Amino acid sequence: MKRVITPTFIVIVVMGCFRYPENPKPEQLQNDVNTFFTSLLGTWKMDEHPVIEQWEDAGDLFTGKVYNIIGVDTALTEEIRIIRSDTGIFYEAKVMDQNQGKPVYFKLTAEEKSKIMFENPKHDFPQQILYEISGNDHLEATIQGRNKSEMKTVRFRYSRIH
């Protein structure tokens, strides 16, 4: 008897190898990550641009929102969640005008007391997101990776306002 491999079978096998969660279940974060994000809680203003990044503890996960300040108004540009699933801890980013409103996941790959890195090598740009806190009042968020054929790094410097 001859076996036939159907396109449906191939799709099932490929999807089974995908490691980023589509609908992760939030759980208590591990202690080092929890400590880092506890120090991130509050409101940060970008030093060179009218942008605010706010972080909150939602009990079983951390959430962040990024706003552009336009005169006296604000416009939500990104929603972020730090979540834990059975495959790891993830930075979930939903940028309002990108990816048809669907979130993109970056897996935790490195952590220290004042730094944390998430990566998604399959994302177009960025592939890495790094947060670093210096002192209590300074934050640098860095996105980096290959953008088309060249390496690119973009740094966002913030100061705590609350």
Question: For the domain 30-160, what is the CATH code?
Answer: 2.40.128.20
For residue 128, what are the CA distances in angstroms to 51, 105, 152, 155?
21, 11, 11, 12
Distance between CA atoms of residues 141 and 16, nearest Å: 32
Exposure of 11 by Cβ count < 10 A (0-12 exposed, 13-18 middle, 19+ buried)?
exposed
Q: Which residues contact 95 (CB under 8 A, 6 or more apart)?
A: 77, 78, 104
Cβ neighbourhood burial of 64 (10 Å; 0-12, 13-18, 19+): buried
DSSP state of 101: G
Q: 62: how many CB neighbours lie within 10 A of its CB?
A: 23
Q: Tens digit of pLDDT per residue, the chain (162 long)?
A: 444 444 443 334 333 444 455 444 444 456 667 888 889 999 999 999 999 999 999 988 899 999 999 999 999 999 999 998 889 999 999 999 898 989 999 999 999 889 999 999 999 999 999 999 998 899 999 999 999 889 999 999 999 998
> What is residue 78's predicted lDDT score, i.e. its pLDDT?
97
pTM (2 d.p.): 0.80
